[in-house]
Amino acid sequence: MSWRRALIALLAVGVLVAAGPARADSLRYVLSAESRLTTYCATCEPATTRTERLRGSFDLSVLPGVDYAVEAVTGVHWQTDTLTVSGTGFIQRLGDLGLTMVLDTRLNGVPILLTSGRRQHAATGEIRLHLTSPKGVKSGFAVTLVATPDPSATPDADGDGISDAADNCPAAADASQSDADHDGVGDACDSCADTPADTPVLRTGCALPQVCPCEGPSANEEWGDQRAYVQCVGRTLRQLRLRGEVDKTEIRQLLRTAVRSGCGRRVLAMR
């Protein structure tokens, strides 16, 4: 899906809300001193380029029911010495800390669409992107965006005194942060308490063999066929990929293993 179609789809379902108070489940980001806004005009006489320090903040909110790692960008309030920027948009995380962003903004009241184009890398704990107005024009804007979570606005959804960013069970109160199997998911929300150490797990604390056991989807049920088993493996690997638990090479290896495993195949016993 192109970013234009994605933006239209998100607007159609109403997930891009007007700028205003941050939602309770949102996280505020503040722009660092590295952020810049550049205005260029190739048609001016003479041609001009002006770069200014960009200050301000924005909010990120996870979109419920959207399964491709998209977050709503709201509350955009940026300013330089001569320009103000407001708007909404979305950011998509594409595994291995890759990011893309689209913003429907107004610069001094003039509508401007800012996009990041191809996926860009970002370090853990920060958003670092280069945004530009539509290409192919001789005048426009470019934004160097570097932002980190606002330490004074760190959310704590379960109210246990541990910020969501550091909480191993952000939706279940557990001030002790106990994690008996050391899989990174706290005991208060771990559905698979015996996961081997250093095994990639979902947010439920369950690893691939626990979600898709070879014997069948449940203790009293077998797989209908091998395809059903491999589909379960594929879905689980996709979720692990979105969490950054596995990379593309590991996914290929694990899918190949699943296909060769024989899990889900009918066995005809012979005497």
Cα–chain center distance at 198: 23
Confidence tier at 12 by pLDDT (50, 70, 90):
very low
267 half-sphere exposure, CB direction, 13 A CA radius? 8
Main-chain phi, psi angles of 133, to 5 degrees: -75, 170
Residue with more model confidence, 86 or 46: 86
In total, how many domains does the chain have?
2
Rounded CA gap, 34 and 116, in Å?
A: 17
Does position 117 have pLDDT exceeding 80, yes or no? no
In a domain? residue 228: yes
Contact 206, 192 (CB under 8 A): yes
In a domain? residue 109: yes
State residue 160's pLDDT score. 75
Same domain, 31 and 142: yes
Does position 199 have pLDDT exceeding 60, yes or no? yes
Same domain, 143 and 240: no
In a domain? residue 223: yes
Which of 27-31, 114-118, 162-166, 231-235 is least confident? 162-166
Q: Would you call 21 exposed, middle or buried from its count of C-beta atoms within 10 A (0-12, 13-18, 19+)? A: exposed
Which of 34-48, 118-132, 188-202 is least confident? 118-132
